[in-house]
Amino acid sequence: MNRLLFGDNLKWLQNTSVFPDSCVDLVYLDPPFNSNADYNVLFREASGEASQAQFHAFTDTWSWADAAETYNQFLDTCSNIEVVELLRALHSFLKSSPMMAYLAMMAPRLVELRRVLKPAGSLYLHCDPTASHYLRVVLDGVFGAENFRNEIIWRRTGSHNSSKRYGPIHDTILFYSKSSEYYFRRAYRPYLKGHVENYFKKQDEKGRYWTNTITGAGKRKGESGRIWRDYDPTAASRHWAIPSKVIGELGIDPSLSLLEKLDALDEAGAICHPPDGSNALPTYRQYLHLSPGMPLQDLWTYQPHTRGVLWNSDEAIDEDVRWLVAQGDPERLGYPTQKPLGLLTRVIESSSKPGGIVLDPFCGCGTTIHAAQKLGRQWMGIDITYLAINLIKRRLRDAFGQEVQFEERGQPTDFASARRLAELDKFQFQHWALSLADARPVKQAEGRGADRGVDGLIYFYEGKTERGKIIVQVKGGGVKRNDISTLLGDVNNQNAAAGVLITLENPTKPMRMEAAEAGRYVPKLYSSKNYPRIQILTIEGLLAGTERLDAPPQFNLFAKAEREVPDAMQGELL
C-alpha cells in the first residue's frame, strides 16, 4: 500500500504496526541541515508567473534545546551500545552545538531506518559536505563499516562564486546496505565517442569489437586454475574469471561449469586465441552492439555543453541527473532543495526491484515518491509539514491523474483530531484547513497584522488574463460576530471579490446573519451567476462533505507537475 504520512518521522518509524521489522526495500533520505537557505514553496501569481513572495515553509536550523531530550532518551533506550558510545564521544567534541543537535536527532532515526530495512535492503543518505563526514561516522556505527558501499558525488549546480575557496558545487550521497547480501542492479550510461574509437577498433562480420580479459590476477587451486585447451593460467599467475555479463550477453547457460562456459564462448566465436608460439592467454571478443555501455561510477556529474560527445546518444554527459535550474525548469515546483527525478530514478532502479517498497522519511515536495510511482514501486513518504503533504498530493494527481491510489495517515479525519491539531500546532492546522478549500497559504512576515488579515488566497477567472481574488481566514479557536465585519473590511481594503472564514468552532446565528447581509457578487466572466460575498465554512462541514466553497472556477496557484505519459507508468498500483 502506498502511504503518505503526516507528522514526526521518528514517531511514525517507532510505530511497529505501521513499520514492522524488515518491511522496506530501499530508503532514500535528504535531511536538511543549516544550509542558511529559506525553505520556500513555489507558487504562481495570478498572471501565471512564478511568485516573488513565496511561502516560507520551514527553517533547517537545529538547536540543542530542541534535541537534548531526544539525545538523552536515545542514550537510555538504544540497544546498540556502539552507537551510544559514538554519540557520547561526538558530544564530548561537538558540545551543545547545532551540529551535535542534528546528529542527536538523526541517530535514532537512522537506527529505526535500519530496523525497517529488509536484509537485502539499502539506504541512501543525501547530504552536503557540511555534515557528511559526521553522518558517515554515525552510519558506520548503525550499519557497520563493512556495509558501507559508496560515497557518491552529485554535482548540484553549474558554478558557485566563492572568493576564498574553491566553488562548492557538489552534494554527497552515502550508500549503505543492511547486509552483505543486498540487492543491486548495475546501471549503465552511453560510452564516450572517444572511448569507442580508441577501444573498439577492430571489426568483423558481427561488428566493432575489442578484446578483453577472461582471467584474473592470482593463482587458484580449483577449477578456475585448471588447464583449458592447453592454456595454463596458473603458469602465468592468473586464473579463469569470465565476467558474468559476458555469459548473459551471449545467452550461455549460467549453470554450466567454468570450463564448459569457456567451451561455449569458443563455439560462439567470442574467444580470441593468441598466435602459435605465444605464451599469452586467450581473451574475450567484446562487441560494441552487445555492450550495455559504461557502468555507473561514483561520480554523478552532469557536464553542460557536452552534447555530441556520447556514442549513439544526443544527451550530454550525465544529463539524466542534471540539476534543476533556478528559473523556468518544468520540474521545479517545491523547495529550493528539490532534487531531479533522474537522480532518484538512478537510486531506485539500482537498489530496488519493481513492486518493492521505497521509503522517504523527509519527503518534502515528493520527488522520491514521484519517481517510485513512475517506476512501478510501492512507496511510503513522511513529512512533518502539512504544506508538503498537500503539495505531494497535488503533484501525484497532476502527474498521474485522479486515479492514483494512496493512503493518507496522520492528518485530521474528524472533528476531534482537527481540534487536537489546532491545539498542538496552529500553523499546521491552518495549512491543513486551507487545503480543504484549495486555498494557497500566504507568506507570513514578522509582527501582528503582517498578513493583512489573510491566511490564504483563492483566485478565479474574470477573463482571459484577469483574475479575481478571494481571501481566506482560518480560526482554530472561538469566533464572534465582529470576525465577520473584520473579514468584510479586509475584503474591501484589499479589493477582493469575496472572503471566506474557515472555523473550527460553530459560528453563532448573528455571525451567519451578518455574513448573509454582506450580499453577493457577480463575476465578469460568469455574469449569469452570483456568489456570496462572505462565506462561513466549518471544519466539521468540510470534513463531512456537507459544506463546500461556493465560488467561480478557480485558478490553480500551486506549481504544477508535468503529466506523466501512461507508458511511463510501469506496473500497477499496489
Could you tell me if residue 571 is inside a domain? no
Residue 334 has pLDDT above 60, yes or no: no
Angle CA(459)–CA(465)–CA(471) in degrees, nearest 5? 15
d(CA 397, CA 119): 33
Q: What is the pLDDT of residues 185-216, one digit of tens each?
A: 999 999 999 999 999 999 988 899 999 899 99
The answer to whether 434 and 502 have CB atoms below 8 angstroms apart is yes
Rounded CA-CA distance 261/264 in Å is: 5
Residue 420 within any structural domain of the chain: yes
If asked whether residues 14 and 139 sit together in one domain, one would say yes
Do residues 65 and 172 share a domain? yes
Give pLDDT, residue 387.
Answer: 85
The CATH code of the domain that includes 55 is 3.40.50.150
Residues 6+ apart with CB under 8 A from 95: none
Q: In what order do the strands lie in the sheet with 207-213?
A: 202-204, 207-213, 283-287, 271-272
| Stated length of the chain | 574
Assess if residue 481 is contained within a domain: yes
Q: Which residue has the cell 537485502?
A: 120
Q: What is the rounded CA–CA span in Å between residue 511 and residue 478?
A: 12
Is there a single domain that holds both residue 434 and residue 387? no
The cell for 41 is 514553496
Q: What is the pLDDT of residue 335?
A: 65
Highest mean pLDDT, choosing among 41-55, 384-398, 458-472, 490-504? 490-504
Are 20 and 119 part of one and the same domain?
A: yes
Name which of 144-148, 224-228, 566-570 the model is least confident about.
Answer: 566-570
Q: 262 and 310, same structural domain? A: no
Range of the domain at 217: 191-290
Cβ within 8 Å of residue 560, ≥6 positions away: 333, 394, 398
Sign of the CA dihedral 365, 368, 373, 375? positive
Q: Are residues 85 and 136 in the same domain?
A: yes
pLDDT for residue 443: 65
For residue 303, report the phi and psi dihedrals to the nearest 5 degrees: -115, 105
Q: CA nearest 506: which of 545, 475, 544, 471? A: 475
How far, in Å, CA of 289 to CA of 394, rounded?
43
| Average of per-residue pLDDT across 554-563 | 78
Contact 117, 24 (CB under 8 A): yes
Say if residue 444 is in the same domain as residue 469: yes
What Cα–Cα distance (Å) separates residue 64 from each residue in 91, 96, 287? Answer: 11, 6, 59
Mean residue pLDDT of the chain comes to 89
Q: Is there a single domain that holds both residue 146 and residue 204?
A: no
Q: Which DSSP string corresponds to 183-240? A: -----EEPPBHHHHHHH--EEETTEEEEEEE-EEES--SSGGGS-BTTB-TGGGTEEE
The CATH code of the domain that includes 530 is 3.40.1350.10
The answer to whether 3 and 386 have CB atoms below 8 angstroms apart is no
> Kind of pairing, strands 148-155 and 299-300?
parallel
Closest CA to 141 of 88, 73, 63, 76: 88
Q: Is the pLDDT reported for residue 448 higher than 90?
A: no
Higher pLDDT among residues 473 and 42, named by residue: 473
Which of 300, 365, 301, 296 lies closest to 329 in space, CA to CA?
A: 365
Q: Are residues 267 and 208 in the same domain?
A: yes
Q: Pairing between strand 202-204 and 170-177? A: unpaired
Q: Which residues contact 254 (CB under 8 A, 6 or more apart)?
A: 244, 247, 248
> Can you tell me the mean pLDDT for 339-346?
97
Q: What is the pTM of this model?
A: 0.87
pLDDT at 69 over 80: yes
pLDDT at position 329 is 83
Residue at 574 is within a domain: no
Asked whether residue 178 falls in the same domain as residue 70, the answer is yes
Count the helix, strand and coil residues of the chain and give each as a percent rounded to the nearest 5.
Answer: 35, 20, 45
pLDDT for res 396: 95
Which segment, 32-41, 286-295, 515-524, is predicted with the most confidence on average? 515-524
- How much is the pLDDT for 247? 84
Same domain, 147 and 199: no
- What's the confidence (pLDDT) of residue 237? 95
Q: Quick one: which H or E segment has residue 75?
A: helix 64-77
Between CA 418 and CA 422 the distance in angstroms is: 6
501 and 544 co-located in one domain: yes
What total number of domains does the chain contain?
Answer: 3
Q: What is the percentage of the chain residues whose pLDDT exceeds 90?
A: 71
Per the model's pLDDT, the better-predicted residue between 36 and 507 turns out to be 507
